[in-house]
Structure formats: structure tokens, C-alpha cells
Amino acid sequence: MLVRQDDKTVLTMANDFKGDPKEFAIVVPVPTVLEKDQIHVGDKALLDHLDAYSAPRLVEYFDGNPCVRTRDDVLRLPSASAAIGGLASGGGRAKSLGVTIEAQYTVGEYDILILSALQSNGLETWLRENEYRIPAGASSVLGSYIRQNMKFFVAKVNLKEQAKLGFSMLRPIQVAYESPKFMLPIRLGMVNADGPQELFVFALTRKGRVETTNYRTVKLPTGMDVPVYVKDKFGDFYKAMFAQQVKKENMSTVFTEYAWDMGWCDPCAAEPLSSEELRKLGVFWLDDTPQPPAAQGRPFPIRPRPQDVYVTRLHVRYDNPHFPEDLVFQETADRGNFQGRYVLRHEWKGDETCDAASEYRRSLPQRREREAQTLASLTGWDINEIRKQSGAGPAPAPQPPLKWWQRIWRDYGLF
């Protein structure tokens, strides 16, 4: 997660890690030497809240009685979890290798070093000698960051401190720094990867939507009607849909999943983050004006509550051949609202026999087929299996066009 205003950045890294904590370490290039009070251990619950607020979601509509013209009712569904992964990611000897230990701290359950280096082989040797498992091929990537005069933020778990603090999960690490570079280094993690990596980036800014400047940023398909049975397998649907979009874009694109003013949402899958939560995530420009509580009996506020914070959620699947450069960002002035949103429409089951009801029933086979075709296009799933699951049946035979006099009288409701 990136909080960005002017040249100031707060970077929060939540890492998915399986295994013994003593085996965990991260090496992250940073543009400057960090002092101890620029490093903080955060609260994963805040990231979970932001994820729930911005995740792709379903909305569910119920067709009304066509004989009684009323407004459709809508049921807001909580966003299904579409997560596939998460955000990853002795002095004398050091000097002889061209490595400088600029600073070292213990913050929370992490032992942290800030390193600089003159050349990549020396840095790789120093890391290996200090029992960091640096994979083969790291030197060339380390060297590119050294040539940019970047430093290296190195963190590993202090097991004694972790036991004392009582945390069983790795908490997010937060760093605050100033730099004109608005970027996220991803290449070093690819050296250690066992396949394409999954990255979610949340950007909190003041002006508007964030996009990448060195890769295409496109919005996910949204607003499509899909068969109702998707409700029970939304996670599978989303994963297949995202994989299909990655394939169509040749794994060379960053996708926008959500872009919205943090003060409100429509529909809301989770309440917008409070000013207090945003400040804990590093949003440093907020004042202390309290936000009004949600209306009585309403689970989430839906009226705009000015927060002076705009959230962009980006999702990228990447590997080294398709993403040879780190992600470079820019903040735009676009404050339009966007969300990955997919629509379920429940059919009306009444037995009234008015003309409108008859026309409604005649239209259902074509509607089911459209939904099936949409789902197949989004996901790459087999169209015949979709028809079977959704009750669409085989594609309906095309209807002969109405004769000219039938169109006239139909328009007046007399045919």
C-alpha cells in the first residue's frame, strides 16, 4: 500500500509467507537511508478492511412483477474474496566487500538493516555470508538498483521479540520517506519466484486515480450481467475472469479494480475507512475533524463524507519476461468512480398473465443466453457447461422479424 503526497511516501508491505518465521527475510530497494522512527510495524486488520472496501463485488437484483411497474429492488452483497495472493514481497568484512551498514534497528518483531553497496557481487556475497538465501541471478538485479544509488532495506524476524509481543502472524512493515521517485520495486522478488507473482497495490492520494507510466493501466471489465449461479462460486469466477484478461493482454498490463473517493461507496461491501484508520495507514494530511456516524439502522454510510483521500486498487500478475522494469506510478486528476462490479438478475416467478408478463417470459431464453455468452467471454469457461449450470439450455433459435404492421400494433400494446 502506497500513501503519496508531493514527494512524501508511506509504503506498507504485507507479505504472504509459508514456513518457519526464522526462514523469512525481505530485501527491498529504497531511495534513501531510513532512520529508526521512519519505520513502523502496522496492523494487518487495516489492510484487510481496505481490501474488503475495494474488492470486486456482486450486486443482486430481483425482477419485479411486469404487470406492476415498480422500481427494481437491489440487494448489496458483500464482496467475495478474490485474493489469489498478496503483496509480497561484521563491519570490517562488509567494508572489504564494498557494503556499508548505514543503520540497524529492531522495530517490533523485525531486525532491520539499511545497506548501501558499491557493486552487486559484494552485496550478494555479504548477504550469503550472513545467511540470507539469495537465489542465483540476483547480482544483475541488485546491480541495477546500485547504479540508481538506491539503498537496501533488509528485514528478518527476531523470534525472541515476536514471542515477547505475542504475535503469531507476520505484521505489515511500514516505512516513510521522501523521494521524487513514485515507484514500487518488483524485480528483485522475481529472482526468488517459482512462477508468475500476484500483486495488489492500494494507493491513497489526495488528487485522484493512480496509474503506471511504464506499463498500460486498464480497467477490468465491469457492469456485466452474469448467471445467478455465479453467486455461489464468485471466487472461482473472479480468478478465471482475471486470468482471462491477463491472457488477452499478454500479461503486460496493470489492471484497475477500484478507484473511488474514500468518503463513500455505492454499493458498499464494507464501511469506508475512518480518519483514524487512514492515519494509521500513513495518511498524514488529514485533520482531526470527526466523521459523522452511520445513520441509525443503516449498516454503511452511503452519503459522501469528505475525507480528502482517493483510493486506487491495482492488480497485476507479472513475471520477468513481461515486466522487465519496476512499476512507476503517477497520480492523475481523474476522480471518477470505478469498481469491478458484476450483476445477478433473478427472474420473476409469478403466474400473472398480462401482456407484459407474456412478453417478459418470451424474453427470458434470450436473456439467459446473453448472460451465458458474457460469462464464457469473461472467463473462458465452456459455454455448454455454463448453459447447463444456468438452465439456459441450447442457444435459442433466432426469431423471424416482425412484419411492419405487427411492429405498429405492438408499440401500442395491441398485438
Residue type, 45: A
Give pLDDT, residue 229: 94
What stretches of 169-313 show up as alpha helix (H) in DSSP? 187-191, 234-248, 275-280
Query: Cβ–Cβ contacts within 10 Å for residue 368, how many?
Result: 21
Give the length of the chain.
Answer: 415
Give pLDDT, residue 138: 79
Contacts of residues 139-144 at CB distance under 8 Å and 24 or more positions apart, as own/partner, are 141/187, 141/188, 141/190, 141/191, 142/117, 142/188, 143/119, 144/187
Dist CA 104 CA 114 (whole Å): 6
Residue type, 201: V
pLDDT tens digits for range 167-200:
667 889 999 999 999 999 988 877 777 789 899 9
pLDDT tens digits for range 266-306:
777 788 999 999 999 999 998 754 555 544 444 544 444 54
The answer to whether 162 and 29 have CB atoms below 8 angstroms apart is: no
Query: Cβ–Cβ contacts within 10 Å for residue 242, how many?
Result: 22
pLDDT tens digits for range 133-143:
777 777 888 88
Closest residue by Cα to residue 281 from 40, 7, 5: 40
Closest residue by Cα to residue 56 from 203, 202, 258, 221: 258
Question: Phi and psi dihedrals of 220, rounded to 5?
Answer: -65, 150
For residue 345, the SS3 value is strand
Q: What is the pTM of this model?
A: 0.81
Residues 6+ apart with CB under 8 A from 72: 61, 62, 63, 64
Average pLDDT (354-362) is 86
pLDDT tens digits for range 100-117:
999 999 998 889 999 999
Average pLDDT over the chain, rounded to an integer: 83
Query: Cβ–Cβ contacts within 10 Å for residue 103, how many?
Result: 17
Q: Given pLDDT bands bounded at 50, 70 and 90, which one contains residue 398? A: low
Give the strand pairing for 197-205 and 73-76: unpaired
Helix 138-147, helix 120-129: angle, nearest 10: 120
More confident residue, 88 or 316: 316
Give pLDDT, residue 410: 60
Residue type, 202: F
Angle at the Cα of 45 from the Cα atoms of 44 and 51, rounded to 5 degrees: 90
pLDDT tens digits for range 42-80:
999 999 999 999 999 999 999 888 888 544 444 445 454
